[in-house]
Amino acid sequence: MHVVTGFDLGPFPDVEGYTEAAALDAADELAGFREHFVIDDPDLIYLDGNSLGRLPRDAERIVNHVMRHEWGERLIRSWNEGWWDLQLDLGDRLAPLLGASPGEVIISDSTSVNLHKLAMAAVRARPGRTRIVTDDMNFPSDVYVLEGVAEMLGAELVIVESEAADDPIDQLDRVIDDTTALVSLSHTAFKTGYTYDLARVTEMAHASGALTLWDLSHSAGAMPIDLSGSSADLAVGCTYKHLNGGPGAPAFLFVRTDLQDRLDNPIPAWWGHAEPFSFDLAYEPVQGIRRFHTGTMPILSLAAVASGISEVSAAGLPLIRSKSLGLGQFLIEQWDQHLRPLGFGLASPSEPTLRGSHICLTHPDGLPISLALIEIAKVIPDFRAPDGLRLGLSSLYTTYVEIHTAIQRLKGIVTGGFEDGFREVRLTVT
């Protein structure tokens, strides 16, 4: 790749909005949390914490302790000294962040595997009902998993066209009926950040006798969630985005207490057995949330999840949400002033209550722009086909001045201050 020198990384104190940004940072009650994360390069503006959260300093300490002391020294004894219950202990620590109770959450497997398990269980618990309802804002991988479940169980997957609709909930309302076994949606949409009213959709599903299964991947750790208060039935989500659990860290699953003993785990294995060490050939599920567990969990990755949960818990979701909305509002103002005239669109809802913790801008040259941003402008966004530039807002470490600076760098990219480099990047990807 052509190296471009002399690109102005800022900051840009003379550009409108800087003073406001600096003042907002100075008043930020969460400012101290940034130091809890490893940030080696102060020039790098990381706007992808909604895809992979930064490394909490404490995670390094925890993982090294697990390696040297628990694996290296204690060896197999560590299974009796914490590992066996780790997925449940961490679930109990995560539960309050989801509005769930202890004993309703475990950390296990991947989001896809958990989604498969709970969707299978839910549809089988609604015999006679033939439909699973999802929408076109859902993460496509979730749609594949649901399609697999539908095929396996002879059900039909209905994909509601919500993305282009004025009110996605109205669209759902037209489809959910007494043939619906399960409604499964992303709480916050991966692309636009549109966020469903969890209670309203759950109520709608329940009115038709359907169960709900939420993917909270893009909202967990970014905003208060009230699973219990909204009577949600089932949920899954990953821990490596706003929960900062580490790359590919094990996912979580939630089953409401009163449903736990009425649903069957479709992958029954020893971790969900009532007496796993009796080594009996007959499967006898344990009572409670453990029955949704399957096999042995990857302990190094699992242990790392603790530090991200601690940071989010210490900061508190109300403050995290209000800062996230503030960052989003500021970003949208900056977009309106500096980027809209350059052909950038806004794909995220302008109404704050409908938004998650990322803002999606669009541009016909979204892919080369995002690559140029990374390689030349030291801003890391996420490109989502066909034209989305997704900018994640992580209240624990994103600053207002970073947003201000990132917008100016983005402007610098498209206004051709380094036209040569931009064309070069473009050639490599299109």
Active site residues: 139, 215, 240-241, 390
DSSP letter string, 69-118 = IIIIISGGGGGTTTHHHHHHHHHHHHHHHHT--TTSEEE-S-HHHHHHHH
What are 237's strand-pairing partners? 252
Please name which of 107, 145, 121, 125 lies closest in space to residue 271, comparing C-alpha atoms. Answer: 107
DSSP letter string, 269-289 = -GGGBSSGGG--SS--BPSSG
Q: Of 224 and 288, which has the nearer Cβ to its own copies?
A: 288
Q: Of 260 and 370, which has the nearer Cβ to its own copies?
A: 370
- Which residues, 6 or more positions from 82, have their beta carbon under 8 angstroms from its beta carbon? 70, 89
Q: Of 185 and 317, which has the nearer Cβ to its own copies?
A: 185
Q: Label the pairing between strands 252-255 and 234-237.
A: antiparallel
As measured in angstroms, the least distance from the Cβ of 256 to its own copies is 23
Cα–Cα separations (whole angstroms), residue 245 to 175, 237, 238, 307: 36, 12, 9, 7
Q: Of 140 and 364, which has the nearer Cβ to its own copies?
A: 140
Packing angle of the helix pair 111-124, 140-153 (nearest 10 deg): 40
As measured in angstroms, the least distance from the Cβ of 61 to its own copies is 10
What are 236's strand-pairing partners? 215, 253
As measured in angstroms, the least distance from the Cβ of 382 to its own copies is 7
Q: Of 31 and 374, which has the nearer Cβ to its own copies?
A: 374
Cα–Cα distance between 18 and 403 in angstroms, integer? 10
Cα–Cα distance between 351 and 332 in angstroms, integer? 11
Q: Of 29 and 280, which has the nearer Cβ to its own copies?
A: 280
As measured in angstroms, the least distance from the Cβ of 353 to its own copies is 26
As measured in angstroms, the least distance from the Cβ of 357 to its own copies is 16
Cα–Cα distance between 233 and 140 in angstroms, integer? 22
Cα–Cα distance between 420 and 427 in angstroms, integer? 11
Structure tokens belonging to residue 181 = 């076994």
Phi, psi of 127 (to 5 degrees): -60, 145
Q: Of 282 and 341, which has the nearer Cβ to its own copies?
A: 282
- Asked if 192 contacts 168 with a C-beta cutoff of 8 angstroms, the reply is no
As measured in angstroms, the least distance from the Cβ of 229 to its own copies is 29
Q: State which amino acid sits at residue 189.
A: A
Cα–Cα separations (whole angstroms), residue 350 to 185, 199, 258, 305, 367: 21, 21, 38, 32, 23
Q: Of 12 and 240, which has the nearer Cβ to its own copies?
A: 240
- Asked if 185 contacts 201 with a C-beta cutoff of 8 angstroms, the reply is yes
3-state secondary structure of 417: coil
As measured in angstroms, the least distance from the Cβ of 333 to its own copies is 26
Cα–Cα distance between 97 and 377 in angstroms, integer? 35
As measured in angstroms, the least distance from the Cβ of 253 to its own copies is 13
